Structure 1
Amino acid sequence: MAETIRILMIDDHPMIIEGYQNTLQFTKKEHQILDINIANNCDEAVAFMDKSVKNNRPYDVLFVDISLPPSKDGLMNSGEDLAIYARDVLPKAKIIILTMFDESYRIHNIIKTINPEGFLIKSDLTSSELASAFQAVLHNPPFYSGTVNSHLRKTNESDIVIDDKNRKILYLLSQGAKNKSLATHLNISLSAIEKRKKQLKEIFLVDDGQDETLIKEARKKGFIL
């Protein structure tokens, strides 16, 4: 019996998306029909997700690249934000994260905040691994690539978890925003901004107290581009 699988692929590199599509179409099971939509940025992805819910044709699988340009309204700053949104509006969808980041802090944070059914590091990725991940996520999740599993086995790694507001603070600081602007944008008080910035500097071991150092350390660990 034919099984239609609705897929949304989100990546800002068209050639990468084309490669994913070709691999899945070539390796799918005989009874599987793949209905694939493509989004190249956060705004397109949100529009596709909302439309799928409205039409009562929710996606079964989402492929989400972490490194995406922010949405025009500034509410979505990465694929991580999109995946969190997807968990809310598409609770039954299986999420496969794809990223170039192979830093332990980033990997742990994504697993804590999203708990994806699939997690692939692009430098690990081959056609056969993508095909295996897709089928495993459908029938026996989770599927993590070798680099992800390697980091998860390192139990001595610091367990850094950056929540949504703190990630937005890091992003806005990297864009040159000042405290007053941060408070307005996030709708929290100046004292709350200061408290969160202090917490972030402790997490990233910033000794000199400078925002520039915080941005540098967060960038090194893959939390901002």
Structure 2
Amino acid sequence: MIHVLVVDDHAVVRSGLVQLMDGRNGLAAVGEAADGDEAIVKAQELQPDVVLMDLSMPHGKDGLTATAELKKLLPNTAVLILTMHDDEEYLFRAIHAGASGYILKNSPYEELLQAVQHVAQGNAYLYPSATKRLMSDYLEKVRSGDYGGSFESLTEREKEILAKVAQGYANKEIAELLFISVKTVETHKSNLMEKLDLRTRPDLVKYAAKKGLLNFE
């Protein structure tokens, strides 16, 4: 049984999600919270497998802040963002905070249940239109010749840094994870982007998605 904590500032939405989750597809709603602060308390108490987290909550901590804190406290608990924001910037920020998945509130309930199962198994989940958009943008870049570089030309360290940057880590965080200086990270990042002919961070993320490097743990 997959235990789920539902976090949303609207009581009616929470109630509906709890009813949807409870007893379907091997899921069990073990609790609910109205804001990020309550979510952190409840998650530590209930130890859920998945926290279904709203992004925009006006009272207490928002979903991004709560996600980042939860992942530090409960690294084995997956966080699935459920939001109305169909926006790449929010998506990247959620991934940076440690979320395992991102799905829209207007998604079919079957898709939501599948997404919860997916992240509970340790996988990453993006709603289909986001994945399609990322891949379409990438293929358009390929057709226009913007992605002329070769992945095989990268060193192992450059590949490692490519993955970390794409997953949302800041240069300082990468430096700490890899036990190297921030300046070294910046140099590797500059070199790999030049080799791959990438110009922006979204381009880098799309390239990494194509190469199967977006393994969010």
- Which of the five TM-score ranges fits, normalised by the shorter chain? 0.5 to 0.7
Q: For the Cα contact (< 8 Å) 1:99–1:120, is it kept in 2?
A: yes
Please state how far the C-alpha of 1:140 moved relative to its aligned partner.
5.6
Unmatched 5+ residue regions in structure 2?
A: 142-165, 171-217
The corresponding residue for 2:37 is: 43
Q: Does 2:104 match 1:121?
A: yes
Cα distance between partner residues in 2 of 1:89 and 1:24: 24
How much has 1:8 moved relative to structure 2? 1.5
Aligned to 1:85, the other structure's residue is in SS state helix
Describe the SS at the equivalent of 2:30: strand
TM-superposed CA distance for 1:103, in Å, is: 1.7
Runs of 4+ in 1 over 3 A off after TM superposition: none
1:18 aligns with 2:7: no
Q: CA RMSD in A?
A: 2.6
Q: Give the partner amino acid of 1:142.
A: A
Counterpart-to-counterpart distance in 1, 2:25 and 2:55: 25
**1:108 touches 1:152 (CA, 8 Å); kept in 2?**
no
Equivalent pair of 1:10/1:40 in contact (CA under 8 Å): yes
Partner secondary structure for residue 49 of structure 1: helix
Q: Write out aligned runs for 1:212-223 (5 A).
A: none
Q: What is the TM-score normalised by the length of structure 2?
A: 0.57
Deviates more, 1:81-90 or 1:144-153: 144-153
Number of residue pairs the alignment of both structures matches:
143
The whole-number CA distance in structure 1 between the counterparts of 2:59 and 2:112 is 26
What runs of 5+ residues in structure 1 fail to find an aligned partner? 164-225
What residue is the counterpart of 2:115 in the other structure?
Answer: 133
- Distance (Å, rounded) in 2 between the aligned partners of 1:59 and 1:27: 16
2:89 is aligned to 105
Q: What SS does structure 2 have at the residue aligned with 1:27?
A: coil
The structural deviation recorded for 1:107 is 1.7
Shift of 1:35: 4.8
Structure-1 separation of matches of 2:92 and 2:22 = 31
Structure-2 separation of matches of 1:17 and 1:103: 23
Identity over aligned pairs, percent: 23
What are the residue-to-residue correspondences of 1:1-225 with 2, within 5 Å?
Answer: 3=1, 5-29=2-26, 34-50=28-44, 52=45, 58-71=47-60, 76=61, 78-111=62-95, 113-123=96-106, 125-139=107-121, 141-153=123-135, 154-155=137-138
Kept in 2: contact 1:14–1:40 (CA 8 A): yes
SS in structure 1 of the partner of residue 86 of structure 2: coil
1:5-54 residue CA offsets vs partner (Å, 9 max, x unmatched)? 3321110112222222222225223xx6x25111011222122134x2xx
CA contact (8 A) 1:24 1:131 kept: yes
Q: 1:35 to 1:98 in 2, by over 3 A?
A: closer
Given the two structures, how large is their TM-score scaled by the length of structure 1? 0.55
Could you tell me which amino acid in structure 1 is paired with residue 77 of structure 2?
A: A
